[in-house]
Each structure stands twice: as structure tokens, then as C-alpha cells.
Homo-oligomer: A and B are copies of this chain.
Amino acid sequence: MTKAHIISIGAELTEGRVLNTNATYLAQQIQQMGIGISRITTIGDDINDIVHSLNAPQDILVVTGGLGPTHDDITTDALFQFCTDNFNSFVTKNSWQKTITHYCKTKEINHLHERVCLLKNPVGSAPGVYIKVDKRHIFALPGVPSEAKSLFSKEVEPILKTMSTTYHSHVMRLSGTYESQVQKILKKTNWPKHVEISLLPQYNGVNVVIKSSVEAVAFINDVRSKLQEHIYSESALTLEETISKLLCAQQKTIAVAESCSGGFASHLLTNVPGSSSYFQHGVVSYSNEAKVKILGVRPETIEKYGAVSSECAQEMAQGVRKITQTDIGIATTGISGPTGATPNKPLGLLYVAYADKDNTIVRKKVIRKPRVEHKKHSAHFVLGLLWECLKDKKNDKKK
């Protein structure tokens, strides 16, 4: 199997000032294409160390970081030295710099050498660099996560795909289940020898990646039939993008009432381009006063059952859809912590609700996670419920 090596460059990483999310993202993406990851190396801003690592014998090398304009951005210097060492009559440092400056001004891609070219950065100023030495492919990307992601998917992925042809990879994105549950179901399948499966846990779901050296259609069909109810996508579509498609197809509008998820559910829904056509409004009703004044939750409900209750979740979902008369309202209320637990209501308790003109559905769960994780999980849990309700109405267009 083709193997890749990921190198992350930056003192902020070796000093533990930021989490290395780029390496994890790249490892996931590369893995899903059927290319193995031999190792991930993180090095500080030391040019000799970087040059040494560039000379490692892996088939594919993806380097991130150190491509910016500041004094500690020395990947460019390391790449230049590497190219000078490896190619006869390589361009001068001056002309390398000129090509990059020209790119920054015009976004025009020029080759630095027959085996070295720049890669367009769709979201930032510094370009990526692609070097081909013998059978090795080296990609250098900026360290800013959004730039690394965007450049990787637009420029690097298409090149890598041509190298992983002997390998088949299929992804199923699942909502409303978890790793060990999926593992149990997969154990009951007739798992062929040439098939490898990776489970990537997500908030309120799992991505199942099925890799094989020959096509595994029958096996994939078998797995699909067993996991059917949880699969929201077998492509790159996220849960919120799947929901977007369903809302558009059913011509429905939505409003969101959030307590414990604190705005993250609205954030996820509005991440999708075009969401303004169905997303009317969201309310983050943190105080009881906001729940009553904005959403119309009855004070008696809060008094009798508490703000973290099935009854309150229901009234929040129903209330938020009334404000601008949307088709659907969804709601979250829970205890994200670190305080707020009571003898009857444990830390992590969560209620989510879905309401439309005919039905109101509430789900309960306890998620024992730190505050921010709990918030994100809550948001994904309510979107999971929304997706379930929407997919069941797939053919029920708005009258």
C-alpha cells in the first residue's frame, strides 16, 4: 500500500501551545483515500531538522506550517535547500522569492522547475508547493488550519487520488449511534479478508470507512442494509448539508431554540451556503426570562419541571416556530456544567425536541463530557433528531 508521512512544522506545536488538528485532519483524509499513514512528525522551527525530514524515503510527504511571511516561517528556506540539493541548476533564491511574490499579486501559478510548482491557496495569501523527486511526492501547505484544509482538498487530493487507484474506499456517515454499537453489528457481517474497516467516532455518530484492494460491492450492500437507519450520507456530505438538502426538497423553513448548546446548532445549520432560504432565526435562550419572553415557554412549566426538562424542551421547540411561523422548530436544554447539577438532574443531562404542525418529539440523553464538548454534542444530537424526522417525510412535500 502507498504510504504517506505527515510533517507538522512549528514551535507552537512542539511547545504544546496549540493542538495539532492539521495532522489529525490530514491523516483522516489521506486514510479515507486508501493511503496508509506511516508516521506523523512534529518539528520546531529548525531548518536542518526540516531538511532532514524532507529527505525521508516515504512515497508521499505532506508538510504543513512555516510558509508565511514572518521570520520564523522557515519551511520555504528548507524547501529551497532541499530542491537545490536534489535538482541540478535549480532556480536562485531570488527567483524563487520573485515567483512567490508574483503569485501573491496575481494568483498566477508558475513552475519553479519542471518538478517544482506552486499550488493555489483558495483562502489565504501564501501558496502551497508541490515537489516531485524520483517517485516521491512532497506537498507543502500553510499551517493555518482553514488554509491547509482548503488547499489540501482543492489541490492535493486530486493528485493523491491518482496514486490510490488500486485501492477502493467507501465511507458511510452515521448519526444516532456509537463505535461499540457499530462494531457489534459489523461482527455479524461476513467480512472478506481483503476488506479493512476503520471507525471514526463523531459527535453523536460514527463514520465507517470500508477499504479494500478489490471492489467489495456485496459486502458494502450487506453493511448498508444492517446500518441503514443511521446512514445520512455515503459521500462527503455532512449532517447539516444533508439536512439542508432535505429542507430544500421539502420546501420547509426552520427555527432553532437553544439553551445548553449555546448557539452551536444555529452555527452548524448556517455553515451551509444557502441556509438563509430555510433558516429563519435562532434563539439562544440562556436565561429563564428569555425562555418565557422570547419563546413563550410558560413560567409554570419552568417552575414545576425546571428549565432542563422534557416539558420545557417541547415548549421551546413549539414556541420558536411560532415567532415567525416556520414549519419546524427544534430545541435543546441541558446541563453542560461544570455546575448546575442537582440530585435528580445529573451533570450532562440533555433534552432535545422537534416540533412541526402535527407532532412534537423529545429525546433524552446524558453526555458526561466537559462543557464545550457537551455543547457540541447537544447541537449534533438535536440535528440528528431533525434529520430522522425529515428523512421519514422524504416524499411528503409541503402542501
Q: Which residues of A contact B (CB under 8 A)?
A: 11-21, 23-31, 36-46, 49, 68-72, 122-123, 144, 146, 150, 169, 171, 179-180, 183, 197-201, 207, 209, 256, 258, 262-267, 269-271, 273-276, 279-287, 289-290, 293-294, 323-324, 337-340, 369-373, 375
Q: How many copies of this kind of chain does the complex include? A: 2
Given contacts A267-B375, A287-B324, contact A339 B274 (CB under 8 A): yes
Partner of A72, one of B169, B198, B265, B280: B198
Whether the pair B39, A42 counts as a contact (CB closer than 8 A) is yes
Query: Of all chain B residues, which has the CB nearest A274?
Result: B339
Chain A at the B interface: mostly helix, strand, loop or mixed? Answer: mixed
Complex interface: chain B residues within 8 A of A171 (CB): 17
Partner of A209, one of B17, B44, B339: B17
Complex interface: chain B residues within 8 A of A20 (CB): 19-20, 23-24, 40
Cα A69 to Cα B70 with chains together (Å):
47
Whether the pair A270, B375 counts as a contact (CB closer than 8 A) is yes
Among A69, A266, A267, find the residue whose CB has the most chain B CB atoms closer than 10 A: A267
Given contacts A70-B179, A337-B273, contact A293 B324 (CB under 8 A): yes
Measured between C-beta atoms, what is the minimum distance from A142 to chain B in Å?
Answer: 10
Query: Of all chain B residues, which has the CB nearest A39?
Result: B43
A sample of 16 cross-chain residue pairs with beta-carbon separation below 8 angstroms, ordered by A number, consists of A15-B27, A16-B24, A16-B25, A16-B31, A16-B37, A19-B19, A19-B24, A38-B43, A39-B43, A40-B42, A70-B199, A262-B266, A266-B284, A281-B284, A282-B284, A283-B294
Query: Of all chain B residues, which has the CB nearest A253?
Result: B287
Complex interface: chain B residues within 8 A of A266 (CB): 258, 262-263, 266, 284
Measured between C-beta atoms, what is the minimum distance from A282 to chain B in Å?
Answer: 3
Cα A46 to Cα B169 with chains together (Å):
18
Complex interface: chain B residues within 8 A of A150 (CB): 370
Measured between C-beta atoms, what is the minimum distance from A38 to chain B in Å?
Answer: 7
Partner of A271, one of B13, B14, B371: B371
Complex interface: chain B residues within 8 A of A373 (CB): 123, 146
Whether the pair B283, A282 counts as a contact (CB closer than 8 A) is yes
Question: Which 5 residue pairs are nearest across A and B when measured between Cβ atoms?
Answer: A263-B266, A262-B270, A16-B27, A16-B28, A282-B284
Complex interface: chain B residues within 8 A of A45 (CB): 198
Complex interface: chain B residues within 8 A of A169 (CB): 15
Cα A206 to Cα B191 with chains together (Å):
51
Measured between C-beta atoms, what is the minimum distance from A336 to chain B in Å?
Answer: 8
Measured between C-beta atoms, what is the minimum distance from A208 to chain B in Å?
Answer: 11
Complex interface: chain B residues within 8 A of A209 (CB): 12, 15, 17
Cα A13 to Cα B42 with chains together (Å):
13
Partner of A270, one of B281, B286, B370: B286
Cα A207 to Cα B290 with chains together (Å):
36
Measured between C-beta atoms, what is the minimum distance from A48 to chain B in Å?
Answer: 11
Among A15, A21, A169, A265, find the residue whose CB has the most chain B CB atoms closer than 10 A: A15
Given contacts A69-B180, A282-B263, contact A338 B273 (CB under 8 A): yes
Given contacts A39-B42, A146-B370, A282-B263, contact A17 B11 (CB under 8 A): no
Complex interface: chain B residues within 8 A of A17 (CB): 28, 171, 198-201, 207, 209
Query: Of all chain B residues, which has the CB nearest A42?
Result: B40
Cα A276 to Cα B12 with chains together (Å):
33
Query: Of all chain B residues, which has the CB nearest A49?
Result: B39
Whether the pair A281, B280 counts as a contact (CB closer than 8 A) is no
Whether the pair A294, B323 counts as a contact (CB closer than 8 A) is yes
Cα A201 to Cα B14 with chains together (Å):
15
Whether the pair A12, B286 counts as a contact (CB closer than 8 A) is no
Measured between C-beta atoms, what is the minimum distance from A250 to chain B in Å?
Answer: 18
Whether the pair B26, A16 counts as a contact (CB closer than 8 A) is yes
